[in-house]
Amino acid sequence: MKNIAQIAIIKPLHNLFDYKIPANMTNIKPGCRVCVEFGKKKVFGFVINIIEKYNGTNYRLKEIIELVDEEPIIDRETLKLFIWVSNYYHAPLGQVIGVGTPSFFRLGKKLNGDSSNVQRIDNNTISNNISLTKEQNDAIKTIEKSINNYKCFLLDGVTGSGKTEVYKNIQNKVYIKGSQTLIIVPEKNLIPELLEYFKVKNMRVAEYHSSLTPKKRFINWDLIQNCMIDIVIGTRSSVFLKIPKLGLIIVDEEHDPSFKNNTEARYNARDIAIFRAKNKNIPVILGSATPSSETILNITKKKYTHIKMRNRINNQSLPDLKVINMSNRKKNIIIAEEVISAIENRIENKEQTLVFLNRRGYSPVITCRDCSWVPQCKECNLNMTFHKNKDLLMCHHCGRIKKFYNNCLSCNSNDIAYIGEGTEKIEEIIKDKFVNSNIIRIDSDNTRKKGQTEKVFNDIRNNKYDIIIGTQMLSKGHNFPNITLVVIMNIDQSLFSPRLKAIEQLAQQLIQVSGRSGRGRKKGEVILQTSFPDNEDLNCLINHGYEKWMEKLLLLRSNLGLPPHRHWGIVQAKARKYLDAENFLDNIKNLISKNKEVKIFGPMPSAMQKKANLYNLNLIIQSKSKAKLNNVIKDCIPCIKDIPYSNKIRWTIDIDPIDYD
């Protein structure tokens, strides 16, 4: 008789837990929630398997206290997906279910089933008052051929080529078939614009992201699973939604690192989307103006179909790019004369300028000229950034803060040097130069409140501002037709970063932020300030474009035997003592190194050696084959608990890492 349930609990624990099923609990099935005693606490868990009674063991199992769901709240298909993700990323199944379901799930909450709704309208075709370009038409025709089966398309279209219109046309064809569409975007800020775009003719659209209240998330989850929604637009966790009539997945801005979850279960929503589409035998579209190296490699291996759109709508030309050499200028010049006059020129023409700088705060380093004091975060051994607006010093790695009122915290001198610049300092300089203009700085500090970002973006579109200063939040996807000048302030740090993806992400960011310029009727311009105008990567990108640059990058990576030509898994260990972390990883290295099919690098300190008072070390495991990498790590995990002092170590595994530290 099958009377044992194996339960996943939402905790960082790699195993399932066995509980006895009470005799009267006959409805229990995999995918149901149950309430169990775990340690001394009552928690809600998920039934994964139901198995036979143990033989010959008198170990006493606890009984399940309560069955929450009469019918599985997680259907078979979604449960299979969670199990696959847990196996592929070596993440605890409970945690995967935790990130992949609304938080109300783990509180044992139920819906009253009153989410009847917005009814499906038949023959809801979009009226084509827009005449599609030839490139759009060709793209639609190509994708349409595979509307009933799996195929992965890369819609590789320059910024402003009208990719969204292609998505909409394909979505409409999928809708006519009676199927649902899932659109995944890297950031919730991109959702309102898309919602507007897709909310036509009674199309039932729902959003799904972390800014919704837990209740709203649960309600939307329920509407979607009841097929009351035609289009779901969400951030990365929406890849786990139960969508019974799923007929199409679109991953917009597929290159974006935000698809990777970097806490708990370290999954990549883009890759799961492709897996899901393959399993369900439906098409998946990856869209980008700057496709990732992994995706381009898959194109060369003929795994995906490449669709190119190389022209902007109305044949609007791509912006001109001008490089300004900052290396031969006086030290105190932060914004070049040419840039100032270019901005003046836009203001006269009633056009907008976007000033892009990837660093928040006022200045990244401050020091006392009298006693040489430099504020450092004790927990991370790194400089703290000065935020003038809030009189704060802040560690950008762990978030630690300290009050600072322009007097040295060591000798009280007020002779402080502010070295380097963040968005606040740039704002100060620009406000000083353009006294009568409307200027706004946008970063996570002033867009935290609900609806704030949307309002600011609308104000930009309504020309309320002449100059917009911002970080990477502004570089992605948005359409601001009156921006005709983009100024890129300081990218020099990223040119020399040791991180695997740094140069690729820099190239993507440059092209993406440039793409914000000249999207309306007027031609755009981009000015890049750098002290390294002769840098090889920069020159190749500027003179030959992203596609050629990517070709070179892939060739180099192939010669060096590095990702994306190889597969990586990283074991990261965090410990209060450096040696503890190192010992732990050395032990893992010993366990794995018997296997000759993988190459091992490390243990070595991560780029961020110390964070929040814990030392971080990495062990990189590399293989030509994903399957082999997976097996090696799978075999190793059960042995970890036997490593001496492993209970002192916080360890995680990152498969296909992007931005590890």
CB of 163 to ligand ADP, least distance (A): 4
H-type helices in 269-397, by residue range? 269-280, 293-300, 337-348
Contact between 143 and Zn ion by CB under 5 A: the answer reads no
Q: How far is CA 290 from CA 255, 287, 510, 547, in A?
A: 7, 9, 10, 8
Classify 166 as helix, strand or coil.
helix
Which one, 136 or 423, has the nearer CB to ligand ADP? 136
CB of 180 to ligand ADP, least distance (A): 22
- The sign of the torsion formed by the CA atoms of 528, 531, 533, 536 equals negative
132 binds, among ligand ADP, Zn ion, none (CB under 5 to 8 A by kind): ligand ADP
Residues 258-277 that bind Zn ion (CB under 5 A): none
CB of 387 to Zn ion, least distance (A): 14
Residue among 550, 532, 531, 529 nearest 541 (CA): 550
Contact between 617 and Zn ion by CB under 5 A: the answer reads no
Output b/e per residue, 141-168; b: 16+ Cβ within 10 A. Answer: ebbeeebeeebbbbbbbbbbbbbbbbbb
Classify 367 as helix, strand or coil.
strand
Pairing of strands 385-387, 352-356: unpaired
Residues 298-327 that bind ligand ADP (CB under 6 A): 313
Which one, 162 or 291, has the nearer CB to ligand ADP? 162
- Could you write out the DSSP letters of every residue in 547-593? HHHHHHHHHHHHHHT-TTSSEEEEEEEEESSHHHHHHHHHHHHHHHH
Which tokens sit at 388? 């003038």
Torsion of CA 76, 81, 85, 86, to 10 degrees: 0
CB of 116 to Zn ion, least distance (A): 50
Kindly determine how many residues on this chain lie close enough to bind ligand ADP according to the rule CB under 6 A.
15
Contact between 478 and ligand ADP by CB under 6 A: the answer reads no
| Cα Dmax for the chain | 87
152 binds, among Zn ion, ligand ADP, none (CB under 5 to 8 A by kind): none
Nearest-angstrom CA–CA distance, 245 and 280: 10
Is there a contact between 449 and 355 (Cβ–Cβ < 8 Å)?
A: no
Which tokens sit at 249? 């997945």
Contact between 165 and ligand ADP by CB under 6 A: the answer reads yes
Other Cβ atoms closer than 10 A to 412: 10
Q: Which stretch binds ligand ADP (CB under 6 A): 128-136, 206-214, 269-277, 330-338?
A: 128-136
Contact between 157 and ligand ADP by CB under 6 A: the answer reads yes
379 binds, among ligand ADP, Zn ion, none (CB under 5 to 8 A by kind): Zn ion
133 binds, among Zn ion, ligand ADP, none (CB under 5 to 8 A by kind): ligand ADP
418 binds, among Zn ion, ligand ADP, none (CB under 5 to 8 A by kind): none
Contact between 164 and ligand ADP by CB under 6 A: the answer reads yes
77 binds, among ligand ADP, Zn ion, none (CB under 5 to 8 A by kind): none
Q: Which stretch binds ligand ADP (CB under 6 A): 31-39, 157-165, 618-626, 645-653?
A: 157-165
Classify 16 as helix, strand or coil.
coil
479 binds, among ligand ADP, Zn ion, none (CB under 5 to 8 A by kind): ligand ADP
CB of 367 to Zn ion, least distance (A): 9
CB of 161 to ligand ADP, least distance (A): 4
Nearest-angstrom CA–CA distance, 223 and 243: 10
Nearest-angstrom CA–CA distance, 568 and 578: 23
- What character string, x for contact with Zn ion (CB under 5 A) and - otherwise, covers 341-370? ---------------------------x-x
Which one, 398 or 430, has the nearer CB to Zn ion? 398
CB of 357 to ligand ADP, least distance (A): 22
CB of 451 to ligand ADP, least distance (A): 22
Angle CA 658–660–639, to nearest 5 = 105
- The sign of the torsion formed by the CA atoms of 641, 642, 648, 649 equals negative
- What character string, x for contact with Zn ion (CB under 5 A) and - otherwise, covers 309-338? ------------------------------
Q: Which stretch binds ligand ADP (CB under 6 A): 11-19, 58-66, 152-160, 294-302?
A: 152-160
Which one, 158 or 366, has the nearer CB to ligand ADP? 158
- Binder to ligand ADP among 136, 180, 293, 583 (CB under 6 A)? 136
Contact between 161 and ligand ADP by CB under 6 A: the answer reads yes
Which one, 131 or 328, has the nearer CB to ligand ADP? 131
516 binds, among ligand ADP, Zn ion, none (CB under 5 to 8 A by kind): none
Nearest-angstrom CA–CA distance, 542 and 538: 6
235 binds, among Zn ion, ligand ADP, none (CB under 5 to 8 A by kind): none
- The sign of the torsion formed by the CA atoms of 218, 221, 226, 229 equals positive
- Could you write out the DSSP letters of every residue in 590-636? HHHHT-TTSEEEEEEEEEEEEETTEEEEEEEEEES-HHHHHHHHHHH
CB of 581 to ligand ADP, least distance (A): 44
Contact between 126 and ligand ADP by CB under 6 A: the answer reads no
Helix 76-89 / helix 93-100 crossing angle, nearest 10 deg: 120
- CA 470 from centre of chain: 19
In one letter, which amino acid is 49? N
CB of 192 to ligand ADP, least distance (A): 14
Which one, 238 or 385, has the nearer CB to Zn ion? 385
Helices then strands, each counted (H, E), the chain: 16, 29
Query: Over 418-476, what HEC string results?
Result: EECCCHHHHHHHHHHHCCCCCEEEECCCCCCCCCHHHHHHHHHHCCCCCEEEECHHHCC
CB of 249 to ligand ADP, least distance (A): 17
- Could you write out the DSSP letters of every residue in 22-43? PTT-TT--TT-EEEEEETTEEE
Residues 385-444 that bind Zn ion (CB under 5 A): 395, 397-398, 400, 408, 410-411, 413
CB of 287 to ligand ADP, least distance (A): 7
Contact between 200 and ligand ADP by CB under 6 A: the answer reads no
Which one, 285 or 342, has the nearer CB to ligand ADP? 285
293 binds, among Zn ion, ligand ADP, none (CB under 5 to 8 A by kind): none
CB of 573 to Zn ion, least distance (A): 19
Is there a contact between 433 and 340 (Cβ–Cβ < 8 Å)?
A: yes
200 binds, among Zn ion, ligand ADP, none (CB under 5 to 8 A by kind): none
Which tokens sit at 363? 């200045």
Q: Which residues bind ligand ADP (CB under 6 A)?
A: 130-133, 136, 157, 159-165, 313, 479
Q: Which residues bind Zn ion (CB under 5 A)?
A: 368, 370-371, 373, 377, 379-380, 395, 397-398, 400, 408, 410-411, 413
